[in-house]
Amino acid sequence: MKKNLKILIVDDHSVVRHGVSLILKAAFQNANFIEAETFPAAIALLKEKPDLILLDINLPGGNSTRMIERIKTDHPDVLIIIFSGYSEGQYALRYIHAGANGFLNKDSSDTEIINAVKTVLKDGMYVSNATKEKILENVLYKTPINPLESLSNREAEVAELLAKGEGNLEIANQLNIQMTTVSTYKTRIFEKLRINNVVSLVEIFKVYEN
């Protein structure tokens, strides 16, 4: 492992940056840690040539998989672990396919965080058991990486309007259907996407429709 390791932690919450730094300093005592709270600030710090970036998904000035593309365009060798509070089951495959070297949920234990960083530095990729199961499911049952693809055309229409902030009455009027029908579609959408509120639906659209 590289002696003069440099790790960039990108998160808009100082308590998260500080906490992760403390966790990793115990395992990587010779590492140099730098921090950024916005995506533009992270881009500016790439001149420091970090070896690894722990990157939150939802940041001021940046969102979705486009951040990975932006970083890798000028720094193709930098390693990126997505470190997010979002569901690993919903988002990990999307970000790994976009070029991330791993995905960690913020609820991960200290041990798992350290293990993920060590694994990425050694092998170039970290895939948790949960993500491995999703990959296997994707291969065996041809389940779509993009969960929105599991929706029917009408469900997709309703989902998009819900994500835009439209209520049941507005959706019923726009699509010329009954409000009870909208409610039925909404229930099906939530079940298929394994979510229970519109906020989660909006986040899915942010990732998969960008």
Domain boundary among 93, 112, 139: 139
pLDDT at position 64 over 80: no
- pLDDT of 131-161, one tens digit each? 777 777 666 666 666 788 888 989 999 999 9
Domain with 14 in it: 6-139
- What CATH number is attached to the domain comprising 22? 3.40.50.2300
The band of 55, judged by pLDDT with boundaries at 50, 70 and 90, is very high
Mean residue pLDDT across the chain = 89
State how far the alpha carbon of 114 is from the alpha carbons of 5, 21, 25, 85, 101, in Å. Answer: 14, 11, 10, 17, 14
* Number of independent structural domains in the chain: 2
173 plus 134 within the same structural domain: no
The DSSP output letter for 57 is S
Rounded Cα distance, 92 and 24, in Å: 22
Residue 18 resides in a domain: yes
pLDDT recorded at residue 99: 92
* 135 shares a domain with 152: no
Contact 71, 113 (CB under 8 A): no
Say whether pLDDT at 210 is over 70.
Answer: no
Q: Is residue 113 part of a domain?
A: yes
pTM of the model: 0.75
**Over the stretch 191-208, which tens digit does the pLDDT of each residue have?**
999 899 999 999 888 777
DSSP conformation letters of 116-131: HHHHHHHHS-B--HHH
Residue 1 placed within a domain = no
Identify the CATH number of the domain in which residue 199 sits: 1.10.10.10
